């Protein structure tokens, strides 16, 4: 059996088409995987850049937190209750500005890592100017005090005085022998 030149060309062309088709099928499947992997690699690169930025930001936050904690009051870990001392400080600040705290009630201490927060509910009365001066001084104390709730209403007809309720969150830390290291009041 002799193969003619025409049959040889047709056979080679057919074999080339079959090989081309098989190559296309194999490469097409691999190209889809390659495109998927390329997208995953690009997403991972973006995630790495974001995570590196977060790590740098976390370091900045830690430095800022350490700087803010320098201004916090430090109490001894052995001290059972810090509320009397904090209520006395709040009363002193209020009295300095002519605001009368008629009743103060501490709430439950909330620890958050090394920081502690003690809300104090105060019933007060006084003039508007005294209230504003009191709030201004609390604001100037930095992160030590945070007023989260304040109500005010007239104390009486034409008295010019106000009365109300205020919840002051006092922030502090506890360390062994900490009572000796309190920063001075501002």
Among candidate residues 133, 74, 73, 53, the one with its CA nearest the CA of residue 98: 133
113 Rama sector, left if φ>0, alpha if ψ -120 to 50, beta otherwise: left
Q: Report the pLDDT value the prediction gives residue 44, as an integer from 0 to 100.
A: 95
| pLDDT 10s digits, 45-79 | 999 999 999 998 998 888 887 777 777 888 887 87
Helix, strand, coil shares, percent, the chain, to 5: 50, 25, 20
Taking CA atoms, 72 is separated from 5, 33, 68, 113, 146, in Å, by 97, 57, 7, 14, 13
Q: What is the pTM (predicted TM-score) of this model?
A: 0.63
| pLDDT 10s digits, 146-175 | 999 999 999 888 788 999 999 999 998 888
Q: Report the pLDDT value the prediction gives residue 181, as an integer from 0 to 100.
A: 45
Q: Report the pLDDT value the prediction gives residue 179, as an integer from 0 to 100.
A: 55
Take residue 113 and report the two structure tokens written for it.
Answer: 């890592």
Give the model's confidence band at 178: pLDDT under 50 very low, under 70 low, under 90 confident, else very high: low
**Over the range 74-89, which residues count as b (16 or more CB within 10 Å of their CB) and which as e?**
bbeeeeeebbebbbeb
Q: What is the dihedral of CA 48, 53, 54, 55, to 10 degrees?
A: 90
User: Which 3-state string (H, E, C) describes 3-24?
Assistant: CCHHHHHHHHHHHHHHHHHHHH
* Residue 133 pLDDT > 90: yes
* Residue 38 pLDDT > 70: yes
């Amino acid at each position: 059996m002799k193969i003619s030149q025409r049959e040889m060309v047709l056979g080679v062309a057919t074999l080339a088409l079959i090989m081309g088709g098989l190559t296309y099928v194999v490469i097409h499947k691999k190209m889809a995987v390659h495109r998927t992997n390329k997208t995953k690699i690009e997403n991972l690169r973006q995630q790495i850049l974001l995570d590196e930025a977060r790590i740098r930001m976390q370091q900045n936050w830690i430095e800022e937190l350490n700087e803010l904690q320098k201004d916090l009051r430090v109490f001894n870990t052995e001290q059972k209750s810090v509320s009397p001392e904090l209520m006395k400080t709040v009363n002193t600040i209020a009295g300095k500005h002519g605001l009368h705290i008629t009743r103060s009630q501490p709430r439950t201490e909330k620890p958050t890592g090394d920081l502690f927060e003690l809300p104090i509910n105060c019933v007060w009365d006084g003039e508007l100017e005294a209230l504003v001066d009191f709030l201004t001084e609390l604001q100037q104390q930095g992160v030590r005090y945070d007023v989260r709730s304040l109500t005010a209403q007239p104390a009486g007809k034409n008295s010019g005085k106000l009365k109300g309720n205020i919840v002051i969150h006092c922030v502090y830390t506890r360390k062994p022998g900490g009572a000796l290291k309190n920063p001075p009041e501002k």
